[in-house]
């Protein structure tokens, strides 16, 4: 029954998404969205963080951001075929306040959970459930370890490069990336991240929450004044 309901919801979402492009209003921290598109629940190499989040409509984005995110995952099917990814929350279909987040209000913000490898070096999904606040209460320690899992910085860098390439192709800009300041140092040590710091802006301010289990990406497209 749950699977049937979820499938029906996804089919409805696809039909709605095809109707018209989105319009964003205001800014990420004070904005709105018209005709938001719901991100797919899963693909060959990615999945949403939570079926609950999908059912409650917490994974909507601007139509241009939708295309960037989906195209980037498609690129990674070839560039990193052994890697799997999990995306987090993005926003509501009509935008607006999106607690507990301070931003995510106009369809231009997406959280991506860090890709991880297990003790054997295999790419696995970060375990998200209601027991760890759908992944958001996970705490990585040291250079990026959590319960036998390690952040796959190479896979993360490849994903960010794919987002950059997809954004350029779709006429979208990446405004900033928010990721834990100490873990950023580990990311930039990987060969795959060479030049990444110059290609996009990484926040150097200490975020109000750590952003160690996920990296927050703000995109930029022309928006209308907030109504």
Domains of the chain are 2-220 (3.30.1380.10)
| Predicted pLDDT at 19 | 60
Residue 225 has pLDDT above 80, yes or no: yes
| 202-220 pLDDT per residue, tens | 998 776 677 999 999 999 9
The span from the CA of 101 to the CA of 54, in Å, is: 17
What are the DSSP calls for 83-149, one per residue?
Answer: --EEE---B-TT----TT-SS--SS-EEEEEPPEE-TTS-EE-----GGGGGGTT---BTTTEETTE
Do residues 130 and 56 touch, judged by C-beta distance below 8 A? no
Output the average pLDDT for the chain.
Answer: 91
Percent of the residues in the chain that have a pLDDT greater than 90, as a whole number: 87
Q: Which phi and psi (to 5°) does residue 23 adopt?
A: -130, 130
Percent of the residues in the chain that have a pLDDT greater than 70, as a whole number: 91
Give burial (CB, 10 Å; 0-12/13-18/19+) of 204: exposed
Tell me which DSSP letter residue 31 carries.
Answer: E
Q: What is the pTM of this model?
A: 0.90
Most confident of 3-12, 17-26, 38-47, 131-140: 38-47
Give me the helices (H) in 173-217, please.
181-188, 196-199
| Predicted pLDDT at 161 | 98
């Amino acid at each position: 029954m749950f699977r049937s309901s979820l499938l029906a919801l996804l089919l409805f979402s696809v039909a709605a998404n095809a109707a018209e492009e989105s319009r964003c209003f205001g800014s990420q921290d004070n904005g709105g969205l018209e005709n938001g598109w719901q991100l797919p629940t899963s693909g060959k190499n990615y999945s949403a963080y939570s079926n609950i989040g999908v059912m409650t409509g917490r994974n909507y984005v601007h139509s241009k951001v939708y295309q960037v995110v989906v195209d980037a995952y498609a690129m990674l099917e070839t560039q990193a075929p052994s890697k799997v990814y999990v995306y987090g929350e993005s926003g509501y279909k009509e935008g607006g306040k999106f607690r507990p987040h301070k931003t995510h209000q106009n369809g231009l913000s997406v959280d991506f959970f860090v890709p991880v490898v297990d003790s054997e070096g295999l790419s696995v999904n970060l375990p998200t459930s209601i027991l760890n606040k759908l992944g958001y209460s996970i705490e990585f320690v040291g250079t990026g370890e959590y319960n036998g899992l390690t952040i796959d910085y190479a896979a993360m860098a490849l994903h960010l490069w794919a987002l950059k390439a997809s954004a350029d192709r779709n006429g979208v800009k990446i405004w900033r990336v928010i990721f834990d300041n100490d873990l950023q140092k580990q990311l930039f040590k990987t060969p795959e991240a060479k030049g990444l710091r110059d290609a996009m802006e990484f926040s150097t301010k200490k975020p109000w929450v750590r952003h160690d289990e996920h990296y927050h990406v703000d995109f930029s497209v022309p928006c209308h004044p907030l109504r």
